[in-house]
Amino acid sequence: MTAPALLLVEDLWIAYDRIQAVRGVSFAIAEGEIVTLIGANGAGKSSILRTLAGLQPAARGRVLFAGEDLLSLPAHLRTQRGLALVPEGRGIFGTLTVWENLRLAAYARRDAEMEADLERVFRLFPRLAERRHQLGGTLSGGEQQMLAVGRALMSRARLLLLDEPSMGLAPLLVREIFRVLLRLNLSGTTILLVEQNARLALEVAHRAYILETGEITLSGPAAALRRHPRVQAAYLGG
């Protein structure tokens, strides 16, 4: 990475009681990149996203977002700064409509462009436009994932944190979700992706970090890691 870092993580440690989930992790993301974290279940990937979003405290370390100390901010201020988490399991409000879920995500906004952003989400996900008055809990899994991404976009995110966006989805829906993510990235949105489908993650990402038992063991351009023997053997079935 040669461009200045939008997100800089230095010596990050995360613990659950006495269990060290993440140990001394450091990485950086430049504006406009897609970076992916790859590893087995329990490697610490989701813990990192939750800590960045303010849902899990760091034991120690430093995180800068656009030059500002992120760890000193509560979760809602991190969202206002332009960082948004699309959580594993989607976390939508099942008793609210699609439209209500999207408007609720923009609760702190008072700007004139909010309606334009709502229409942008509907252009990106035409299925949501068709179902704007449907309750979130009655949507299919793929539609709920679209809604979760759309909800994050309503906060005007500069950095999207995506936790397992393909989980439980049919292959066609996975490809549809990832096509939209690539369009978002081409329009300037930076993405940090956690994804069990390592092959797909390495196809869309610019760079990747391999996590094993809470530590980064490999990193580099995604294209190079796709050819790495250890990555092929552990994650790509090579």
Domain coordinates of the chain in residue numbers? Answer: 5-235
Q: What is the mean pLDDT of residues 92-113?
A: 83
Fold of 5-235: Rossmann fold (3.40.50)
pLDDT for 109 beyond 80: no
Q: What is the DSSP annotation of the chain?
A: --SPEEEEEEEEEEEETTEEEEEEEEEEEETT-EEEEE--TTSSHHHHHHHHHTSS--SEEEEEETTEESTTS-HHHHHHHTEEEE-TT----TTSBHHHHHHHHTTT---TTHHHHHHHHHHH-HHHHHTTTSBGGGS-HHHHHHHHHHHHHTTT-SEEEEE-TTTT--HHHHHHHHHHHHHHHHTT-EEEEE-S-HHHHHHH-SEEEEEETTEEEEEEEHHHHHT-HHHHHHHS--
Given this model, what pLDDT does residue 88 score?
87
Tell whether pTM > 0.85: yes
Given this model, what pLDDT does residue 1 score?
62
Given this model, what pLDDT does residue 110 score?
66
